[in-house]
Chains A and B, each alone.
Chain A
Amino acid sequence: MSFSRWLLPRLKQVEGERTPRSVLHILRGKKSAQTFQDSRLFHLADFYHVLPRLSVDAFDQAINQLKKDGLIEEQDSLVVMTELGEHFCQDHWQLELNGMDYGAITRPFYIRLQLLIQSVSNLIHNQTQFFPITDDESVQASIKKIFNDYNPLAQNGEVLYDELNRLFRLLNENDANLMMLTISGSDQIGLSYQQIAEKWQMDPIMIELSVQSVLHQWLGYITSNPNSFNLIKQLIPKQDENRLTESALLTKHMYNRGMSIDQIVEKRRLKPSTIEDHIVELAMKEILFSIRKFVSLEDEKRIRYVLEEDMTKRLKRIKEQLDGQVSYFQIRLVIARLGQEKEAISNG
């Protein structure tokens, strides 16, 4: 399958609403509120940040191909499916991506994993002279630390061997072979996506997506079974989310997967007010978090208007002033947003 055909169902999601480029931004994981919001609005969150290095050229080429094949058109610069295009919109390519949760940490995790395997494999074979697959000194330092803290060479690397074995068994044969081809060790050096693509007569971007999908599956499995992966879990970078409370983080993950507040309440068996607190926390701490789902633009403007007169007003007064047409939750969200904007300004 070519990248352009894979792209087709993603474009359909934004049909008539957005330009093709909006999908590029999602795939690249652009850090803007607009892109972030789009990926949720159009159910493309799984694909957020899955191809961070995708070039504009490669993307445009795929779009042009689709136009040439008569599968899409652009109307007022918005994507529109042709009748033929509709026929090809089924997703035949089974990828298990979860970009919203893992997009940002996949690359560092992958490079560390590769360097750990390469180092352990070479040292087990008594090859102390080898060239690390990455020149990045911070990655090298983090692996050095793992060698100090966890002695991955014990029993000829049994722990790593066992953890890897279980991870590879999660995959289908094809994916497992593909993934292993990218790994370097004492016996052979990994292949680049380009080379695997040449070998298997495929599109290099599809190879990259397959690798991403494997990594996301692994990350999901490791984080939900952390006790079974004591060594490899050390390679997962800490998300930049430690500022969020543990419980709010969980809510965020569920919300990002498209669950509503009610659904989260039910699933987590918590009070609605607790989940609302989490959402307020997100609005306060995460610049990319959009409150639009809870407060319409119209309402937000009205609340802001009242607030700007006097920030110190009690919630009750504000609510009264707005004739009780907005909820406390909505007011708190707007306040959270305002507070965050202030902080952003004062931090330069």
Chain B
Amino acid sequence: MVEHQLEHYLKKYFGFETFKVGQQSIIESVLAGHNTLATLPTGSGKSITYQLPALLSAGITIVVSPLLSLMIDQVKVLKAKGIKRVATLTSLHNSHQKQRILNHLSNVQLLYCSPEMLQQSHVMNYLKQQHVNYFVIDEAHCLSQWGHEFRTDYLKLNTVHRELGQPPLLALSATATDEVQQDIVNHFNLSFEKIIYPIDRPNITLSVRNVETVEEKHRQLTKLLEKKRMPTMIYFSSRMKSESVCYMLQQQFPDRSIAFYHGGMESEDRLLIQQQFMYDQLDVICCTSAFGMGVDKANIRLVIHYHMPSDLESYIQEIGRAGRDGRPSLACLLYQRGDESLPFHLIGQELPDDEMISAFLQAEDLSDKLTETQERFLAFQAEKNRYSSNDLFHIIQQVRDQRLAVKKDSIIGLLKWIHTDQCRRQVLYKKFQEEVKTPEYDCCDQCGFRVDDWELPNDVSFSLEVNWEKRLNELFNKR
């Protein structure tokens, strides 16, 4: 398709005048029927690179995505834009709802699926009857055991793809190292057109603050927030901490609106909080990583890490929420010596210990002793090695130790970045690319940036209307 024609459709369906960097070349590769492996930075508009081809081709595009909330958000955005022939197929549906979607597949242009749905032969039987024009894997680093979010249920996607008649494939990620890219290619054993763009974000200034005590951490937090009222995210690794710090900040900043968000809340409350943040009605959100992926708010100016994440990739994803409008933004990580014990502890919970492995193999009832990820890991390894002649226990133990080593290395990688005395931008993106773009604003604390001097241009202010009668008139546009 010629260039101006593609732009015409971009405008027609999405209301954008021009493509962002990289979008067009990926779309052209997909439309030409090439298997495509592409990287683009966070917030660069990867979604459109499969949404547009899906709308322009006959048949159905299947998108595999790791997070339910992410899929649901994407579908909402599309529906709000008037693009209606989209659906999700996830474990959130009951069998009745699922069947309804399956019965109407011929009406669907874009189907978001969780990987485990594609393991169900019932679902596959319906999908096989459709003309699948493209098969898309979003967040494709989940396929690689070198990736930070290795998901065992992604590892059957090659079989799924074959069963669907090998339609053109598109694998997308913002955080795929060479190793991860190679894993993806090997997994499908197909030839790929690689479209690799650098993933650094030149409008985000990077900084780390070392603190000695919790009190000092809180003082630094206060100092950052004091500057100005602006859309801010603060990341925590613990639900409880996100709440308690939220309450503390509410006391300190009575005229700001501050809320917390984590996976332990009612889904309706989570929706409300997310929307309030979108509408600039909340200034600060104290959240766990349950908030983040899929959050696409243009004007987040400040992303603070109260706790360090467990690898560089997660960090890149999480600060990637900042400055999606391209304007100056700051990412600041607060580090207290010993903070790494939390991620080290968390990886312990992700993988089974020896005792769990042997109990699992002896088919003991472990239902409330294993975390979900431990259980998934064990089930997958047991099935995969079912016919192996070697001792199953040792095989699984070995795989577990390998994964553990990878995870520990990742934490250490992040710690090295925290302690580096070189340019943080260079170090952060080193394993993804050779060079970084010239930063558009300040680079990082190692390159002379001082948080205290940080100046911000914009000012969002929102004041909540409390009087019911005024509100009622506003709701109905009567003044």
Q: What residues of chain A have their CB less than 8 Å away from a CB belonging to chain B?
A: 53, 117, 120-121, 124-125, 128-135, 137, 156-157, 160-161, 164-165, 168, 173, 176-177, 179-181, 183-192, 194-195, 198
A191 to B272, Cβ gap below 8 A? yes
Q: Is B214 on the interface with A (CB-CB < 8 A)?
A: no
Choose one: B269, B271, B468; the contact of A194 (CB below 8 Å): B269
State the CA gap A133–B271 with chains docked (Å): 7
4 nearest A-B residue pairs (beta carbon) = A180-B468, A129-B80, A185-B475, A121-B475
Q: Is B47 on the interface with A (CB-CB < 8 A)?
A: no
Measured between beta carbons, the chain B residues less than 8 angstroms from A53 are: 266
Q: Is B103 on the interface with A (CB-CB < 8 A)?
A: no
Chain B 444-479 residues near chain A, CB threshold 8 A: 462, 464-469, 471-472, 474-478
Closest to B80 in A: A129
Chain B 275-314 residues near chain A, CB threshold 8 A: 275-276, 278-279, 281
Measured between beta carbons, the chain A residues less than 8 angstroms from B466 are: 177, 181
Choose one: B250, B276, B472; the contact of A168 (CB below 8 Å): B472
A131 to B476, Cβ gap below 8 A? no
Measured between beta carbons, the chain B residues less than 8 angstroms from A179 are: 468
State the CA gap A257–B469 with chains docked (Å): 34
B475 to A187, Cβ gap below 8 A? yes
B276 to A189, Cβ gap below 8 A? yes
Q: Separation in Å of the A126 CB from the closest CB of chain B?
A: 9
A129 to B81, Cβ gap below 8 A? yes
The interface size of chain B toward A, counting residues with CB under 8 Å, comes to 34
Choose one: A186, A191, A192; the contact of B475 (CB below 8 Å): A186
Choose one: B72, B259, B281, B476; the contact of A124 (CB below 8 Å): B476
B97 to A192, Cβ gap below 8 A? no
Total A-B Cβ pairs within 8 A: 92
State the CA gap A156–B269 with chains docked (Å): 30
Measured between beta carbons, the chain B residues less than 8 angstroms from A187 are: 465, 471, 474-475
Given contacts A131-B275, A188-B281, are A180 and B477 in contact (CB under 8 A)? no
Measured between beta carbons, the chain A residues less than 8 angstroms from B266 are: 53
State the CA gap A131–B465 with chains docked (Å): 20
Q: Is B376 on the interface with A (CB-CB < 8 A)?
A: no
Choose one: A125, A134, A160; the contact of B477 (CB below 8 Å): A125
A133 to B475, Cβ gap below 8 A? no
B97 to A121, Cβ gap below 8 A? no
Choose one: A135, A176, A198; the contact of B267 (CB below 8 Å): A135
Closest to B270 in A: A192
B472 to A161, Cβ gap below 8 A? yes
Q: Is B76 on the interface with A (CB-CB < 8 A)?
A: yes
Given contacts A157-B476, A161-B476, A189-B279, are A177 and B272 in contact (CB under 8 A)? no
Closest to A173 in B: B468
Q: Is B82 on the interface with A (CB-CB < 8 A)?
A: yes
Q: Separation in Å of the A73 CB from the closest CB of chain B?
A: 32
Q: Separation in Å of the B475 CB from the closest CB of chain A?
A: 4
Measured between beta carbons, the chain B residues less than 8 angstroms from A165 are: 472
A176 to B259, Cβ gap below 8 A? no
Measured between beta carbons, the chain B residues less than 8 angstroms from A161 are: 472, 476, 478
State the CA gap A137–B81 with chains docked (Å): 18
State the CA gap A165–B472 with chains docked (Å): 8
Q: Is B215 on the interface with A (CB-CB < 8 A)?
A: no
11 contacts between A and B (CB under 8 A): A121-B476, A129-B81, A131-B278, A132-B76, A133-B275, A134-B271, A165-B472, A168-B469, A168-B472, A179-B468, A186-B474
Measured between beta carbons, the chain B residues less than 8 angstroms from A160 are: 476
Q: Is B434 on the interface with A (CB-CB < 8 A)?
A: no
Q: Is B368 on the interface with A (CB-CB < 8 A)?
A: no
State the CA gap A176–B470 with chains docked (Å): 12
Q: Separation in Å of the A146 CB from the closest CB of chain B?
A: 17
Measured between beta carbons, the chain A residues less than 8 angstroms from B474 are: 185-187
A184 to B275, Cβ gap below 8 A? yes
A188 to B81, Cβ gap below 8 A? no
Measured between beta carbons, the chain A residues less than 8 angstroms from B271 are: 131, 133-135
Measured between beta carbons, the chain B residues less than 8 angstroms from A164 are: 472
Given contacts A124-B476, A129-B81, A168-B468, are A137 and B269 in contact (CB under 8 A)? no
**Most A-side CB within 10 Å, residue of B269, B466, B469, B472:** B472
State the CA gap A23–B82 with chains docked (Å): 49
Closest to B273 in A: A192
State the CA gap A133–B465 with chains docked (Å): 19
Interface contacts beyond A130-B80, A180-B472, A188-B471: sample of 19 additional A-B pairs, CB < 8 Å, sorted by A: A53-B266, A120-B476, A124-B476, A131-B80, A137-B97, A156-B477, A161-B476, A177-B466, A179-B468, A180-B471, A181-B466, A183-B475, A186-B474, A186-B475, A187-B465, A187-B474, A192-B269, A192-B273, A195-B259
